[in-house]
């Protein structure tokens, strides 16, 4: 079990902090850390200057186990979250106070702490309490509550400053050092709770308690992944039964206790199978398990038949151990790893028996579990011009839901930047007090300055490569001037723009930690360049063609706007009304253009001079590009253009529910910026995330650069469009068809269904596999031990009532022309409802036996749920 260090950035603890329960001699400094490892049932306190006594450490260990012992008895309180959050891990790996142990902090918060809750409209005192044995925070006399497992991020100090400006701009009476913002999710929607503590003592107690509980709840859920049955059993025996060694021989655990424990950990196993396993472990047949029987129960439950079969295959009789030579052959032949003997030996020594030069089956299972499933990324690939790359791009980044009647939020920018997005969009409109960001009259607004500050803060948190800001400017000249000043002042030296005209764009490597503005040149300035006749100016992409607005969308907008914010007829609403009458053509002033590194221009055709400048970029909606793809000449011209210049494609205006298109046809044409709605986890966005290797908490640490080098066939520059078919034909002659064989072996620890009735827990589940590619398959999909659905789709047989380790043992095979733009979606389905899935780009997937993480339907990675597969390409 890996350890997590809680070290909250900007804690700014003061030595004067005191509390009634621990005011004696315990003072906290910024250099004190607490390391919590639920996997070993221990918490040890560390300091850079001194160690903590074993007695104090033992007290904290007992405190944490005490927290979970009480939680086991509650019928509706789970032991921890099902999924990882997208950013909470940055928080829990930071400083936590050691002034009081965690149980003391919990006791304080259970009694209640008075704080100020702040919203845009009011500030009110509430008492916040920890209830349900540390599962919930409540306020407003219990009518409002927050599940700890729903927390996605906690922000304090500088990381919370954006919310302070947005929610409490005047900062009356409030100390920013005492401000806490908690981001959490309810019904698949992100919410924010803003509170201000009355003093530093309460701030430290509230924050430290939540950080500690969130950490150990997550790590306790991670502990069920441990392949070591003894360690797993001991953790949960001590939590559920007793820490005393003399109690290990007592028959204590009933079948009901075991079933309750499985329910607490979201383990999805039918009552019949669980009872059968319980009876096998109950050696003396008295209906109760002692520790040693419980350990046997865990061993039987966690037994993996498919790994047993693999173990027999790779080892020699009597199959008691794996030698280094056998291990090395396994890496080369089965895993198809190109590794030296020295590297292989390093891996072998990590998983071998401690005192012997052999590897046991537990070590081999752990090795399989921890191996990377995606290929490594080579940094030298980032030295080509920008137009040679696919760039992870977001559409209307400020929206968290639909395109209409939604409140814009900086959270949209934070989320996508944390995931590795490299092109975000800002729509700038006239506001009451300067430029604002919104979706025209369809939404409320947030100040541009707030958005730019957030972007600067998070721009390079995941990737060091350049961030492109696509500006859609719809405001007057005064606000444009203000917008230019805001961006120059905040982004400062990070802004990239070239003072000289060049014939090619710089590379991502050359532009590390730089921000590029993309703004549209308009008719007023176009005449001064080589752009020929005048053409229409910038306007928000969502309003590009008023003829494309149909009656259905108008009706939906009317219904939504009438039911939202009905009592909020203030100046903000008046600003929205004013924006309705905005003129379509807005001239972009030189203050903006002069600091822009990329210039958008209105598309007319590919042969005019303005379409042959290195820094230009066309922005087209999906329907316009689809129209080009249906015309042979336009299709070739588009392909030719994209080999030298940039283009951006975004969702059509009728996608007002923020759905996404299939991005593969646009990538096939070499479109660099295929902008998607990141807030919607449909197949379009899943393909987008798979292209850029954006999978949360990748165990192999894959590099989320946000830039992917285009396939070789899309890189050569051609002087004539008619040369492209010849180029493709020549490259096709050099490539043989490929046959992909994937064995879907098993799934580990499927989540327990929300409906926990006996019928639901005894349902069948199966895996559906689907190939998404840019070409029709040469040989359609075939499947052993399953069902063919279509030429690219198949499913495994069903497995009834076993969610702990269902065995599928199915193999699919398909033959394709190439795998450059081939993706695989694997989805686990129970009772015709999807419960877990993953989407992968085939060329990124490592060969051989791999454990693939699974995600819920909102795109969050399950903490313990994986799919075990074997991949082979012939």
Q: Do 197 and 206 meet the contact criterion of CB atoms below 8 Å apart? A: yes
**Cis peptide leading into 318, omega within 30 of 0?**
yes
321 an active-site residue? no
For residue 432, give every residue at least 6 positions away whose Cβ sits within 8 Å of its Cβ, in sequence order, or none: 571, 572, 575
For residue 2, give every residue at least 6 positions away whose Cβ sits within 8 Å of its Cβ, in sequence order, or none: 37, 39
CA distances from 177 to 98, 122, 199, 557 (A): 20, 20, 10, 41
CA dist., res. 813 & res. 740, Å (int)? 6
395 an active-site residue? yes
Helical (H) or strand (E) element with 371: none
Extract the tokens encoding 812.
């699919």
- DSSP assignment of 309-328 equals HHHHHHS-TT-S-B-HHHHH
Give first-to-last CA distance, the chain, whole Å: 37
- Strands (E) in 454-611, as ranges, are 467-473, 515-520, 598-600
Q: Give the active site residue among 266, 321, 388, 439.
A: 439
Extract the tokens encoding 582.
């905005």
Helical (H) or strand (E) element with 331: none
The CA-based dihedral angle spanning residues 10, 14, 18, 24, taken in that order and rounded to the nearest 10 degrees: 120
Helical (H) or strand (E) element with 451: helix 448-458
Q: Give the active site residue among 266, 395, 652, 851.
A: 395
Partner residues linked to 553 by β-bridges: none
Partner residues linked to 855 by β-bridges: 837, 861
C-alpha dihedral sign at 613, 614, 620, 622: positive
In angstroms, how far is CA 322 from the centroid of its own chain? 37
Q: Do 838 and 812 meet the contact criterion of CB atoms below 8 Å apart? A: no
CA dist., res. 330 & res. 98, Å (int)? 47
CA dist., res. 826 & res. 840, Å (int)? 8
Catalytic residues, which ones? Answer: 395, 439
């Amino acid at each position: 079990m890996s350890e997590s260090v809680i070290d909250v950035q900007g804690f700014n603890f003061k030595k004067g902090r005191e509390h009634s329960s621990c005011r004696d001699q315990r003072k906290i400094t910024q250099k004190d850390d607490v390391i919590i490892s639920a996997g070993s049932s221990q918490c040890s306190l560390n300091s850079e200057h001194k160690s903590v006594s074993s007695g104090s450490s033992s007290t904290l260990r007992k405190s944490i186990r005490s927290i979970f012992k009480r939680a086991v008895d509650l019928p509706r309180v789970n032991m921890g979250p099902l999924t990882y959050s997208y950013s909470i891990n940055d928080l829990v790996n930071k400083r936590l106070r050691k002034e009081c142990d965690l149980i003391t902090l919990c006791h304080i918060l259970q009694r209640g702490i008075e704080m100020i809750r702040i919203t845009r409209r009011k500030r009110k005192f509430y008492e916040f309490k920890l209830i349900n044995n540390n599962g919930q925070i409540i306020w407003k006399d219990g009518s409002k509550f927050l599940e700890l497992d729903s927390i996605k991020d906690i922000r304090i100090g500088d990381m919370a400053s954006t919310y302070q400006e947005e929610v409490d701009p005047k900062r009356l009476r409030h100390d920013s050092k005492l401000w806490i913002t908690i981001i959490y999710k309810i019904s698949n929607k992100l919410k924010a709770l803003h509170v201000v503590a009355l003093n530093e003592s309460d701030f430290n107690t509230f924050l430290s308690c939540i950080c500690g509980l969130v950490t150990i709840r997550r790590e306790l859920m991670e502990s069920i992944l441990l392949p070591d049955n003894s360690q797993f059993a001991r953790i949960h025996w001590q939590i559920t039964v007793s820490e005393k060694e003399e109690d290990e021989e007592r028959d204590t655990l009933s079948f009901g206790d075991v079933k309750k424990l499985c329910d607490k950990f979201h383990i999805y196993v039918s009552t019949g199978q669980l009872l059968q396993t319980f009876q096998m472990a109950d050696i003396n047949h008295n209906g109760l398990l002692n520790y040693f029987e419980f350990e046997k129960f865990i061993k039987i439950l966690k037994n993996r038949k498919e790994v047993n079969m693999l173990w027999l295959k790779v080892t020699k009789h009597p199959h008691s151990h794996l030698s280094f030579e056998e291990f090395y052959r396994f890496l080369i032949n089965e895993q198809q790893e190109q590794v030296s003997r020295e590297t292989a030996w390093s891996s072998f020594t990590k998983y071998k028996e401690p005192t012997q030069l052999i590897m046991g089956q537990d070590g081999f299972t752990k090795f399989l579990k921890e191996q990377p499933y995606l290929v490594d990324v080579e940094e030298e690939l980032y030295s080509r011009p920008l137009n040679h790359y696919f760039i992870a791009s977001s559409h209307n980044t400020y929206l968290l839901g639909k395109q209409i009647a939604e409140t814009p939020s900086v959270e949209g920018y934070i989320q996508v930047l944390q995931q590795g997005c490299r092109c975000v969009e800002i729509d700038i409109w006239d506001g009451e007090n300067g430029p604002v960001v919104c979706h025209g009259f369809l939404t409320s607004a947030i100040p541009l300055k707030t958005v730019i500050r957030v972007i600067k803060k998070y721009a390079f948190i995941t990737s060091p490569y350049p961030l492109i800001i696509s500006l859609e400017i719809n405001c007057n000249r005064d606000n444009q001037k203000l917008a230019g000043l805001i961006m120059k002042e905040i982004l400062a030296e990070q802004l990239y723009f070239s003072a000289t005209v060049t014939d090619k764009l710089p590379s991502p490597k050359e532009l590390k930690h730089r921000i590029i503005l993309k703004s549209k040149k308009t008719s007023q300035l176009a005449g001064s360049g080589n752009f020929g006749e005048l053409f229409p100016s910038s306007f928000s992409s969502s309003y590009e063609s008023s003829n494309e607005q149909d009656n259905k969308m108008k009706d939906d907008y009317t219904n939504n706007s009438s039911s939202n914010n009905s009592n909020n007829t203030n100046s903000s609403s008046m600003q929205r009304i004013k924006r309705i009458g905005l003129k379509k053509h807005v001239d972009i002033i030189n203050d903006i253009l002069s600091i822009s590194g990329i210039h958008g221009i209105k598309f007319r055709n590919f042969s005019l001079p303005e379409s042959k400048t290195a820094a230009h970029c066309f922005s087209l909606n999906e329907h316009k590009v689809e129209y080009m793809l249906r015309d042979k000449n336009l299709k070739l011209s588009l392909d030719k253009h994209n080999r030298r210049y940039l283009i951006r494609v975004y969702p059509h205006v009728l996608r007002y529910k923020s759905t996404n298109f299939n991005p593969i046809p646009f990538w096939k044409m070499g479109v660099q910026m295929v902008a998607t709605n990141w807030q919607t986890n449909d197949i379009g966005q899943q393909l987008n995330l798979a292209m850029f290797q954006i999978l949360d908490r990748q165990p192999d640490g894959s590099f989320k650069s946000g830039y992917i080098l285009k396939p070789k066939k899309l890189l050569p520059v051609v002087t004539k469009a008619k040369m492209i078919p010849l180029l493709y034909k020549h490259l096709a002659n050099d490539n043989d068809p490929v046959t992909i064989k994937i064995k879907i072996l098993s799934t580990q620890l499927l989540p327990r269904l929300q409906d926990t009735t006996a019928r639901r827990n005894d349902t069948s589940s199966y895996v559906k596999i689907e190939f998404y590619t840019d070409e029709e398959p040469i040989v359609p999909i075939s499947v052993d031990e399953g069902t063919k659905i279509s030429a690219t789709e198949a499913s495994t047989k069903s497995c009834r009532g076993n969610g702990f380790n269902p065995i599928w043992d199915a193999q699919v095979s398909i033959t394709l022309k190439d795998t450059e733009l081939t993706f695989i979606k694997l989805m686990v389905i129970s009772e015709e409802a999807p419960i877990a899935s993953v989407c992968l780009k085939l060329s990124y997937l490592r060969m051989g036996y791999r454990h693939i993480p699974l995600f819920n339907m909102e795109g969050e990675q399950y903490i313990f749920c994986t799919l075990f597969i074997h991949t082979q390409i012939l």
